[in-house]
Structure 1
């Protein structure tokens, strides 16, 4: 709830003020400050309060950062394509190994997780016909 409320409010505020960088910075600082007591909290109450504060900062960062990114993209005609490219780069790539080698990855396969397997380039990349 904290994130949703600040997404709406900070988006509106950034449009009114035109101060996107400042709001992104404040959102980031809020998250960083809230992360410390969240990690070190000795009580459940402190954990909840810190999580709400972190959610408030994340809401500000999320709404305003996206608007800031669209402002710095080179051509307005390509914004949709560029934003889509950013999203695909940050998407979950858990199926990458299966697509590359034809073998299932560690998730749900009973196979141990091996970080070095991600660097395995001995299997050729299948060519699509």
Structure 2
């Protein structure tokens, strides 16, 4: 009787370990597309990712580059002061999106052009994402408002 209880306990522990391992693997598999790395324009110019890799880019919308094309395609450059990357986006831009302002875009780099599927702009007049501030500080461009 005592050996049967010990055997049952070992089976339950082994089953729990297998279930935990399987659930961890499934969670990791499900999250693989949900994790987007932030890349500054200078980093992107030095080391471009594969065309199928989805990532986030952020910086300032370069003044004089915002072109609202025919249809709904918008073109502009995003810069961190060290490099400038052309961006295309089809869709409605956020209200506070403007030249010289901070932005973060999610998408892919195809033939040297970042094709954004989502554009985020600051949500008020003073906010800028931490990643963008860090990238601008690294290039010596960031100047906080007084």
Normalization by structure 1: what TM-score? 0.22
Q: Which one has the largest radius of gyration?
A: 2
Q: Which has the higher contact order (CA 8 A, sep 6+)?
A: 1
Q: Which has the higher helix share?
A: 1
